[in-house]
């Protein structure tokens, strides 16, 4: 489940056989508390995993960095990512499950993208560039989806714009002003035709 309130998040996750509650948890929280962060959210979390096929108990440790400000902000945001990477690398167990750097989205966790691995990372410049590309791509796709959805709703509204009527002061008024005028003309013609027909008899 996504942590924090930011839509765009960098998630650093590693695994250890040491119960984080004994040492890692307190060190991580103290590390976060004593630094000033450029990013609006820096969150720590850990949890106990299921035993693996060899009966080894693993714990996952996660740092979440909120980066909603990145597309409009300065390049200094990556200093937060680098600082947490430097903290996490020595704690990750090299023989455990893959420890990863990923970009996640609060509203669409299924679209998360793994950027790199802690045990064999690319250059920091490459990681920074890929994170930016993924965030901007997600933002662009979200905007396109919203525009498409808005267009579909608009088209649907046009198709179902029938003369919904309300009774006010004994007169039926359509919601749509154009239809209102049209119906008044039609009603007048029908009334005149009815009168002519009645007198014609």
Q: Are residues 110 and 60 in the same domain?
A: yes
- Structure-block tokens of residue 185: 């003309």
Residue 180 lies in a domain: yes
> pLDDT category, 4, cuts 50, 70, 90?
confident
The alpha carbon of 78 is separated from its chain's Cα centroid by a whole number of angstroms, namely 20
Residue 15 lies in a domain: yes
Instruction: State the total domains in the chain.
Output: 2
Residue 160 lies in a domain: no
Residue 1 lies in a domain: no
Residue 164 has pLDDT above 80, yes or no: no
Closest CA to 21 of 56, 53, 57: 57
Collapsed DSSP state (helix, strand, coil) of residue 100: strand
The 8-class DSSP code of residue 175 comes to S
- Structure-block tokens of residue 44: 């720590």
Q: Are residues 169 and 149 in the same domain?
A: no
- Structure-block tokens of residue 65: 């960095």
The 8-class DSSP code of residue 63 comes to E
Counting residues of the chain whose pLDDT is more than 70, the rounded percentage is 65
Q: Are residues 69 and 13 in the same domain?
A: yes
The domain in which residue 132 lies consists of: 8-153
**Which has the minimum average pLDDT: 8-22, 104-118, 150-164?**
150-164
Residue 3 lies in a domain: no
Q: Are residues 134 and 181 in the same domain?
A: no
Which of 31-40, 108-117, 125-134, 178-187 has maximum average pLDDT? 31-40
- Structure-block tokens of residue 197: 């027909």
Whether the Cβ atoms of residue 10 and residue 64 lie closer than 8 Å to each other: yes
CA atoms of 196 and 199, how far apart (whole Å): 5
Residue 48 lies in a domain: yes
- Structure-block tokens of residue 137: 């791509």
Give one word for 26, left, alpha or beta, with left for phi > 0 and alpha for psi -120 to 50.
Answer: alpha
Q: Are residues 57 and 145 in the same domain?
A: yes
pLDDT tens for each residue of 64-107: 999 887 756 567 788 899 999 999 988 888 888 889 999 999 88
Pairing of strands 165-168, 113-117: unpaired
Q: Are residues 35 and 121 in the same domain?
A: yes
């Amino acid at each position: 489940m996504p942590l924090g309130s930011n839509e765009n998040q960098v998630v650093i996750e590693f695994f250890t056989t040491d119960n984080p509650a004994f040492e890692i948890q307190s060190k991580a929280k103290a590390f976060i508390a004593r630094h000033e962060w450029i990013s609006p959210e820096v969150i720590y979390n850990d949890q106990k995993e299921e035993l693996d096929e060899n009966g080894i108990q693993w714990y996952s440790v996660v740092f979440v960095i909120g980066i909603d400000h990145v597309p409009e902000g300065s390049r200094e945001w990556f200093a937060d990512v680098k600082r947490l990477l430097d903290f996490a690398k020595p704690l990750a167990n090299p023989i455990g499950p893959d420890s990863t750097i990923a970009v996640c989205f609060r509203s669409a966790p299924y679209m998360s993208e793994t950027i790199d691995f802690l045990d064999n990372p690319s250059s920091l410049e490459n990681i920074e560039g890929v994170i930016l590309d993924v965030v901007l791509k997600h933002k662009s796709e979200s905007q396109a989806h919203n525009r498409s959805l808005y267009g579909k709703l608009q088209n649907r509204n046009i198709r179902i714009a029938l003369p919904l009527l309300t009774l006010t002061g004994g007169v039926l008024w359509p919601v749509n002003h154009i239809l209102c005028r049209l119906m008044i003309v039609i009603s007048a013609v029908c009334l005149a035709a009815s009168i002519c027909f009645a007198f014609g008899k």
